[in-house]
Structure 1
């Protein structure tokens, strides 16, 4: 039986563009992983890793016009959005090169032998080493920044882990282009190309914020608690005006479009749900943005309205109108883990309930915003893009410098002669790395 072809598809028309590859068999995936594993030692040199990451950024920028053209043809996200995403992708590659060179991510801790303690301490030296080959599953909604050359790949390579990327079927041609760039960057810096491998196949402001990218950002505000009158009415009015004037858009592919249409139909049919602006199909290949409203008391206990607490991927938001703060607390108690949570409040110090609401939101999300909107995730050292389950399955972040921690594990050497230690742990600190020695920064 021949392998299934992998086609690049135009989401604006639904028509195939070109056959890009064939779906990888289990044996081919196994060979890719083994090939990556065989070259893991080549990434041990931190200087070479940093050079590789910087070269990858340079080559991505050099190939930018070609990559953006392919990505737009496969995702309909538009050249402006994709140009910004390419810049972000190159920037985070360079940022991780700096992380590698600085070396603090190794978290080196040395406790010298101390016989005066009860019980006595031996000489202990701890640092973090790469986990090994990492599988990266490319995202549909970020064909660059969270796909083949994106933050997961960059942070894994920075940690010293070879990467096998499973291309997203929504943008296979873009994935092939980006993989070729990364492999060329590896070769140019003297590393084996198999430090990055690509496989294909399945078996392998509120109004602007919610509609940005046709509602396909992972931080789209999909659920809002608003008062039943006053400011809540103003929000509904403003949102109606903004969303009504928003043009239709093309989603990343037709499977996501079908799921969006089915999701909004199910939610809009629930008792008590109204649609001031009805989301749905705008044409054969496009969708229109909208939002739903529901009394918050419909969500305070388990029932069919639970669907409104689950994300519907695409340009739709649910506004739950509450009458009392008790309803707010009851709804928050039923929300699962999220990437972000936002508090809209009066000027600092003027809202006596703000501190309590902020405390109630903190267990629910990995990033808490005040008087902002969550779309837009700064690639900064203090950033956290993750959250309680089911938002993510671990307490780490996928954005920012500390994303590298996902691909490392600690190991300790006890009473090991200096000559046998890795240079990073030797007494003289020949590499000049930041360390904590006997409990103090050194």
Structure 2
């Protein structure tokens, strides 16, 4: 299979319908073997960046004026071509990320499912539209006819994510929702999986040709330097950005977007510790089960999920002691493993070494010793709530299989932790019927700090559906009013527009009288 992948790759960028560039800048890397793969890739120049952004700008008017059914057919065609080539795509992703084949098969299904979700919503919209009817006889001034619509923002830059080479990358949720909105997309491929990005782009290229879309509707720029990233978000043709990655890099790019002569929205998902609040009733009943499910969840993808549970909050006592004992036993059985990239592994090692030396923290358990220098060990530590609240460094995400247990003196201190945690993608309350009667204030406090509040279920795994919200208060994401998963993600790439006294012949069809989703006032 490796040879067949090699024969398929150009190592180039895909710009305005053409493959171009010299594949001599960097190579793919196999994180499991800890060796480079003999696949070489180009790094986009300033000129190539300008070509891609100008091509997207030129394609915008044509693409945004495509009908909803035409854009839906395009999205469905991308999904079909990915599925037709999924064996090769999955094998390349497996070699470049070390993620299990079964996980990547599921992620491929999710990627195609997202594309089809937006296609379905274009053909069969679910959201109501609003019109205020004219009242020409109203005194002292007549009321005009006004109807609220939306228009696409323009070309969108999307940054591929290291931990989801398919569902959050080249044809992932940001790309799918932006294309659905009528926005051309330029993807900055993640250097951790450039071959995967190219193979997915080949599927998109086939869909562009099959559906007669403008050539500049999609471009892929490969690269491994910060200059490409900053240059892309500063390009005047780019009107919005979708990013999934670290807080450090996300903040740099967000600041660049805000400092532009024309500031643009930056939708960044930047990380989360996804706290687990264990209420007394259920902890007494299920301490061991809760500990085992905690380890199972934090070990998924070796802790490299944005929803990995890295914080546990509970009141001290016999039940929490049982929980910690089982957590320690179960975690000690877990193997050390490679991470997605050497850089991610090095950061994890630095963070965990610093935390294990922290005077306020007590080591609960570590996983099995590493058998290779590039492997990382799972770990869990414990701290009292006063120490946790006094040190903001303990609230920072550790991207990997690491968790902190915060031991509270009582329910009031648990409430204090809930009121002071940073913004999160998710938080979970584990409780039983006796717990819920006393949980109202805790639920209210946590709800102010999360994008998704979960009950009696671990956070790993995000359902792609209409009601999903994947975002949260900063630093979980840069705009807590939006989601990067689910059908509502399309709103990031559009803006509202009010049509006043517009002739019926010029109105968008969805805003004309008689449409089933139009609510008239």
TM range (shorter): over 0.9
1:10 has 2:30 as partner: yes
- Aligned partners of 1:321 and 1:181: how far apart in 2? 51
Residue 261 of structure 1: which of 349, 358, 372 is its match?
349
- 1:24 is aligned to 2:44: yes
Give deviations 1:317-336, integer Å, cap 9, x for gaps. 11111112232222223211
Match of 1:369 in 2: 454
- Would the alpha carbon gap of residues 399 and 117 (structure 1) be closer, same or farther in structure 2, given more than 3 Å must change? farther
Q: Which residue is 2:130 aligned to? A: 109
Which stretch of the first structure deviates more once superposed, 305-314 or 79-88? 305-314
Could you list the structure 1 runs, at least 4 aligned residues long, displaced by more than 4 angstroms after superposition. 279-282
In structure 2, the CA distance between the partners of 1:315 and 1:120, relative to structure 1 (3 Å rule), is same
Q: What's the CA shift for 1:281?
A: 5.0
2:300 equivalent in structure 1: 212
Q: Is the 8 A contact 2:418 2:442 kept in 1?
A: no
In the alignment, the residues of structure 2 paired with residue 369 and residue 120 of structure 1 have an alpha-carbon distance, to the nearest angstrom, of: 49
1:271 to partner: Cα distance = 1.0
Instruction: Give the secondary-structure state (helix, strand or coil) at the position aligned to 1:327.
Output: helix
Mapped to 2, the partners of 1:242 and 1:282 lie a distance apart of 19
Pairs within 5 Å for 1:186-197: 186-197=208-219
Contact 1:170 1:253 in 2 (8 A): yes
Tell me the SS of whatever aligns to 2:376: strand
> 429, 432, 435: which one pairs with 2:518?
435
Normalised TM-score (structure 1): 0.93
In the other structure, the counterpart of 1:58 is 80
| 2:257 alignment partner in structure 1 | none
Q: Does 1:385 align with 2:470?
A: yes
Tell me if the contact between 1:3 and 1:24 (Cα under 8 Å) persists in the aligned partners: no
Q: Which residue of 1 aligns with 2:326?
A: 238
Residue 166 of structure 1: which of 183, 188, 197 is its match? Answer: 188
Matched, 1:423 2:474: no
Name the Cα RMSD after superposition. 1.8
After superposing the two structures, state which structure 1 stretch, 291-300 or 107-116, moved more.
107-116
- Deviation of 1:4 after TM superposition, in Å, equals 6.6
Q: Alpha carbons of 1:291 and 1:282: their partners in 2 closer, same or farther (altered >3 Å)?
A: farther
- Distance in structure 1 (CA, Å) of the matches to 2:397 and 2:32: 24
Contact kept in structure 2, 1:13 and 1:285, CA below 8 Å: no
Query: 1:417 and 1:322 mapped to 2: Cα distance?
Result: 64
C-alpha displacement of 1:117? 5.8
Asked whether the 8 Å contact 2:63–2:183 carries over to 1, the reply is no
Give the corresponding residue for 2:430: 344
Matched positions, count:
429
How far the C-alpha of 1:119 sits from its partner, in A, is 4.7
Deviation at 1:123, TM superposition (A): 1.1
Asked whether the 8 Å contact 1:184–1:193 carries over to 2, the reply is: no
Matched, 1:335 2:421: yes
Aligned equivalents of 1:258, 1:282: Cα separation in 2? 16
Q: Is the contact between residue 20 and residue 172 of structure 1 (CA under 8 Å) also seen in structure 2?
A: no
Bigger CA drift: 17-26 or 319-328?
A: 17-26
Q: 1:118 to 1:406 in 2, by over 3 A?
A: farther
Partner of 2:279: none
Pick which of 143-152 and 272-281 moved more.
272-281
CA distance in 2, matches of 1:224, 1:4: 46
Distance 1:147 1:433, change over 3 A: farther
SS class of match (1:420): coil
Q: Distance between the aligned counterparts of 1:67 and 1:31, measured in 2?
A: 27
Change (3 A) 1:120 1:323: same
Alpha-carbon separation, structure 1, partners of 2:360 and 2:371? 25
Residues 111-158 of structure 1, C-alpha deviation per residue, up to 9 Å, x if partnerless? 121142665321112201111111111111000000001111111111
162-171 vs 109-118, greater mean Cα deviation: 109-118
Other-structure match for 1:42: 63
CA gap of 1:117–1:130, structure 2 versus 1, over 3 A, is farther
Partner of 2:375: 286
Structure 1 stretch 287-296 or stretch 164-173: which is displaced more?
Answer: 287-296
Corresponding residue for 1:275?
Answer: 363
Q: Does structure 2 retain, via aligned residues, the 8 Å contact 1:294–1:318? A: yes
Q: CA deviation at 1:350?
A: 4.8
Q: Please give the residue correspondences for 1:118-197 in structure 2 after superposition, counting only pairs within 5 Å.
A: 119-197=141-219
Question: Deviation of residue 349 (structure 1)?
Answer: 4.8
Residue 198 of structure 1: SS of its match in structure 2? strand
Cα 1:119/1:374, change in 2 over 3 Å? farther
Partner of 2:113: 91
SS at match of 2:161: coil
The one-character-per-residue Cα deviations of 1:140-178 (angstroms, maximum 9, x if unpaired) are 100000000111111111111111001111111101111
